[in-house]
Amino acid sequence: MQTTILANIPSPPQGVWYLGPLPIRAYAVSIMVGIILALWLTHRRYLARGGNADMVWDAAIVAIPAGIIGGRIYHVITDADKYFCEACDPVDALKITNGGLGIWGAVALGTLAVWALFRYRKVPLAPFADAVAPGIILGQAIGRLGNWFNQEIYGRPTDLPWALDIFYRIDDNGEFAPLTGRSTGDVIASVHPTFLYELLWNLAILALLLLIDRRFQLAQGSIFALYVAGYTLGRFWIELMRDDSATMILGQRVNTWVSAVVFLIAVAVFVWLQRRRRAVSQESE
């Protein structure tokens, strides 16, 4: 009896299904599932900290649209050549279901919206930030599955056993359609599945955050700072493996630079929070 071993990871044959005229996009479904799981985990953690459950839902109301808008703005700015070239259609910049959300813009604008809400309600933000951090990275991990369906966020060609096969997709007219088409079965390239690397890294950071939060008494806001530091550390080395088109600065992808800078800021904030906590503790003795 002959045994067949699957050599590579296959991409899904398609990323869009239709219920009549209604398109069901795997990318959008992945984002939605990620948001739901993030809210579930945040709700549990914030209640355990004595927080008001209503603040979780109110924060979601402002953070989700702000995050989506911020993520899209960041993506369009850093990949402007995809939308504002001579052969491009600028309207595509608004087609968010086709993929393209920059996590930096999403977290930045989402955080700003939540900060404004908590400031208006006169509720401390740090406990909520620590409660939401594991939920955010869980949502990011689930959201990366959307990149798998879209055949995007992949790395350089490789012959490793876990290489990702990128299929040639066409639409009903036989035209090349990598996002909305169906696979012909022809493999364009076998590449590093960097979306999978980030998914697994995010889950590892999630487990680490939950462990640290349970075992150590840290200053408020520390878990969020560790989330940012942990995520950007992983994103830095993953960006170095990617080979798709991107805006470059001094020979490196813009996201590589952003990861490095944000990582250093997050580490500095974490250290500052611990020092401030010790100083306050000494003053109260």
pTM, full prediction? 0.87
Percent of the chain with pLDDT over 90: 61
Q: Measured in whole angstroms, how far is the alpha carbon of residue 138 from the centre of its chain?
A: 9
Segment 98-149, tens digit of pLDDT: 666 778 888 889 999 999 999 999 999 999 999 999 999 999 999 999 999 9
**What whole-number distance in Å separates Cα of residue 72 and Cα of residue 53?**
29
Mean pLDDT, the chain, integer: 88
Higher pLDDT, 254 or 59: 59
Within 10 angstroms of residue 201's Cβ, the number of other Cβ atoms is: 21
At 4 the pLDDT is 44
Q: Where are the domains of the chain?
A: 9-211
Was 144 annotated as part of a binding site?
Answer: yes
Kindly report, residue by residue over 37-76, the tens digit of the pLDDT.
Answer: 999 999 999 999 999 999 999 999 999 999 889 988 888 8
Q: What is the pLDDT of residue 21?
A: 86
Q: How many CB atoms lie within 10 A of CB 207?
A: 11
List the single range of 1-5, 9-13, 168-172 with lowest mean pLDDT.
1-5
**Confidence at residue 282, expressed as pLDDT on a 0 to 100 scale:** 66
Cβ proximity of 66 and 109 under 8 Å: yes
Structural tokens at position 202: 């995010």
